[in-house]
Amino acid sequence: MAEHTIAAGSARALMELAVAKGASRVALAARSGIDAAELQEQDNRVPFSKYVALMRAGKELCRDPALALHFGEAVDFADMSLVGLIGRASETMADGFKQFNRYARLVVDDGMETDRLILERSAGQLWMVDTRQYANDFPEFAETSFARMVCTSRRWFPEAQFIKAVHFTHPAPEYRAEYDRVFQLPVVFESDRNALLTDEAWLTHRNPHASRYVFGILSAHAEELLERLEQSKSTRGRVESLLMPILHTGEASVDVIAGKLGLSRQTLFRKLKAEGVTFEKVLDELRHKLALHYLGGKKVSVNETAYLVGFSDPAAFSRAFKRWTGYSPRRMLASKTDNNDPAFCKSSNHLLKRREEGQG
């Protein structure tokens, strides 16, 4: 079974808040098991278990038992998540609600097959209910989610109060008074559901940040990420996710990855063969893809790129890069400042696409 994951943007934002509140970044990384490489790109995936460990380490190291509440209060969803940006660009709040459910797995992929949030009408009241199972195993997630919803709504619509009350299934913690300060609403603990009592008017309320153009661009990217998330559940995808944070260490061997997956070498070989690839091919193509990414979009030197993708010898990296693209890596760097060489990047991306499709 694939491990549950969370977007790296969420983990990175939590770590930055904890550091700002006095926690040691080194201690947070050590206690959570999160490598800095896992947080480099906002859309990367981080094991949810590591996020849980990060939250609990942050609470202790910051001496802030209400860190989850403060995280939701301080960090806007749109500042750390593509899904938040899509909601912000949606025409109405109801549209944003639908988009959240569509792309919720990009935030947390916990195996849920149903909508994360549902609307329920009961006794003339409208409730937004969080359907996440086993919520009390990690109540901090509900704390963060609801604090973010309430505080963001308050910032966006200071003239209106669309949320009327907050219900949690977990018992009241020692920092009960902090709930009152953050939510400024009636809060009920040990409820039969995690839910927000809402004003029906929010469904048709126009979003002041709506943009059809931005919405279209963001939605297209989100669809690509959803497809990538599905692919990551394959053996190849799991191998790639384990390789990425350790490429630079020189420990990217089949034995190391098989051990992390809890498989024998033979079983891993067999599973990859069933998907039409070998471990060597997965490693080689991942290095190719990341090399293009580092050299094409970041201020990274050839030697630094060689290190990041796992080559101890820059000359060996240059030979591999020329095998991948037909060009030297230094030519790619030159092409970034030479507008007369647009063919290089197009050629490189075409070759990578062909390799991924098994055409060469």
Q: What pLDDT, on a 0 to 100 scale, did the predictor assign at position 339?
A: 46
Specify the length of the chain in residues: 360
Instruction: State how far Cα 179 lies from the chain centre.
Output: 27
Average pLDDT of the segment spanning 48-66: 97
Q: Give residue 298's pLDDT band: very low, low, confident or very high (50, 70, 90).
A: low
Least confident of 267-281, 322-336, 343-357: 343-357
Instruction: State how far Cα 276 lies from the chain centre.
Output: 28
SS (H, E, C) 154-180: HHHCCCCCCEEEEECCCCCCCCHHHHH
Side chain identity, residue 21: K
Q: Give residue 344's pLDDT band: very low, low, confident or very high (50, 70, 90).
A: very low
More confident: 207 or 180: 180
Q: What pLDDT, on a 0 to 100 scale, did the predictor assign at position 219?
A: 94
Q: Where does the chain have alpha helices with state H?
A: 8-20, 25-32, 48-61, 67-74, 82-89, 93-107, 139-156, 176-183, 212-231, 235-243, 254-261, 265-274, 279-297, 302-308, 314-325, 329-337, 343-356
**Is pLDDT of 322 > 80?**
yes
**Is pLDDT of 227 > 50?**
yes
pLDDT digits (tens, 9 = 90+) for 100-113: 999 999 999 987 77
Average pLDDT of the segment spanning 332-355: 54
Q: Round to whole Å and give the CA distance between 356 and 293.
A: 16
Q: Give residue 276's pLDDT band: very low, low, confident or very high (50, 70, 90).
A: very high
Q: Give residue 334's pLDDT band: very low, low, confident or very high (50, 70, 90).
A: confident
Q: What pLDDT, on a 0 to 100 scale, did the predictor assign at position 2?
A: 56
Side-chain half-sphere exposure of 318, counting CA atoms within 13 A: 11
Q: Helix (H, G, I), strand (E, B), or coil: what is residue 196?
A: strand
pLDDT digits (tens, 9 = 90+) for 29-52: 999 999 888 898 888 889 999 999
Q: What pLDDT, on a 0 to 100 scale, did the predictor assign at position 360?
A: 46
**How crowded is residue 85: how many other Cβ atoms within 10 Å of its Cβ?**
20
More confident: 15 or 357: 15
Look up the pTM and report it.
Answer: 0.70
162: phi then psi, degrees, rounded to nearest 5? -80, -20
Q: What pLDDT, on a 0 to 100 scale, did the predictor assign at position 353?
A: 52
**Is pLDDT of 341 > 60?**
no
